[in-house]
Amino acid sequence: MTIGAERSHPSWHARRTRALALKAERPHATDLLGGYLGVLDQQERLYAISRDGHWPDLRNAEGDARPMLRLERLPYESLARTFGEFVRELRQVMPDTLAPAVATLDAAHAGLSADLLRDAAARRPLSLRAESLRTDAATLEFFCRAFLQPIAEALAHSYAEPTSKRTDATCPLCGWPPQFALLQDEPEVQGRRSLVCALCSVEWTFARSVCVNCREDEAERLDYHVADSVPHVRIEACTSCRTYLKIIDLRAEGTLAPVVDEIASVELDLWCDEQGLTKLQRNLLGM
């Protein structure tokens, strides 16, 4: 299994460069990418701290059928303070609509922040916690996910290559669903498809022309959609389960940070929404 769409480590420089380029090129994604650039700065700092951090052993025993990384073993109580600082820094670069949620998280005690992070990492719905905090679940999820991503990426890159040969629909390292698929040419395989994790960015192989959600493999039940504005990103929509996933063609020029292209191709998400399709996994910015 190859680690990371960006190979040996996430290239913050490549993400930033790509986000700046697309922000200038694509007016409808300017606000989205402006916010994302602010998030990137904070995530890069957290990634650097996390790479040097001393973590408990989070790995499952070899041969265990579960994902390799046991996110539930992260030291959430001690991460709560860093989370508070991270949220306050993000507040400076995010829209004012997030201010009430920041104030709520600021006032929350460490135990509550730890519980929120633990739930978010396990992908448990945050709606009940949001209700009791009088804020909205989507905002809480955004902050938790923005915080957990660079930690998970740092952990992913600190472990030697997992030997998993599984071709699951979820990440073999952390168990999260894929954010998008990649197409690339390799010496033996032209147009190999892989999936990239929405949390830790690990990349793993998955069969082509099979729905990631329901495993539909009848060719006529999988539809593809491309927009002229972003020819290197296409939609694979399954007519059996009405779920879609973006496929980013790494053979196109400039796609060195596909996570950014996934966010910037927002018109495809709007088109899918109009068609009544549900995204397999929303991205960090909620699209």
Q: Judged by CB under 5 A, which stretch of 85-93, 109-117, 125-133, 212-220 contacts Zn ion?
A: 212-220
Contact 126, 116 (CB under 8 A): yes
What is the DSSP secondary-structure string of 156-183? Answer: HHHSPPP------SS-TTT-PPEEEEEE
203 forms bridges with which residues in the sheet? 196
Cα 168 to Cα 131, 148, 237: the distances in Å are: 34, 22, 19
* 98 contributes a contact to Zn ion by CB under 5 A: no
**DSSP-derived 3-state class of residue 197:** strand
247 contributes a contact to Zn ion by CB under 5 A: no
CB 185, min distance to Zn ion, A: 24
Instruction: Kindly give, in sequence order, each residue whose CB lies less than 8 Å from that of residue 12, ignoring residues fewer than 6 positions away.
Output: 40, 43, 44, 47
CB 252, CB 232: distance < 8 Å = yes
**33, 200, 257, 277: which one binds Zn ion (CB under 5 A):** 200
Stretches 119-127, 134-142, 176-184, 188-196: which one binds Zn ion (CB under 5 A)? 176-184
Task: Report d(CA 204, CA 196) in Å as an integer.
Answer: 7
Q: Tell the smallest beta-carbon distance from residue 218 to Zn ion (Å).
A: 10
Q: Which of 240, 256, 271, 282 binds Zn ion (CB under 5 A)?
A: 240
- Per rule CB under 5 A, is residue 171 in the interface with Zn ion? yes
3-class SS at 59? strand
User: Of 224, 176, 189, whose CA–CA distance to 67 is shortest?
Assistant: 176
Which of these ranges, 26-34, 80-88, 133-141, 230-238, lies near Zn ion under the rule CB under 5 A? Answer: 230-238
Question: What is the closest distance, in whole angstroms, from the C-beta atom of residue 214 to Zn ion in the complex?
Answer: 3
Number of residues that bind Zn ion (CB under 5 A): 15
CB of 204 to Zn ion, least distance (A): 9
If the CB atoms of residues 222 and 285 are measured against Zn ion, the closer one turns out to be: 222
Which of 42, 43, 213, 281 is the binder for Zn ion (CB under 5 A)?
213
Q: Which residues contact 35 (CB under 8 A, 6 or more apart)?
A: 93, 94, 95, 285
Closest CB to Zn ion among residues 28, 166: 166
Sole window of 99-107, 135-143, 192-200, 259-267 interacting with Zn ion (rule: CB under 5 A): 192-200
- Can you give the binding site for Zn ion, defined by CB under 5 A? 171, 173-174, 176, 197, 199-200, 202, 211, 213-214, 216, 238, 240-241
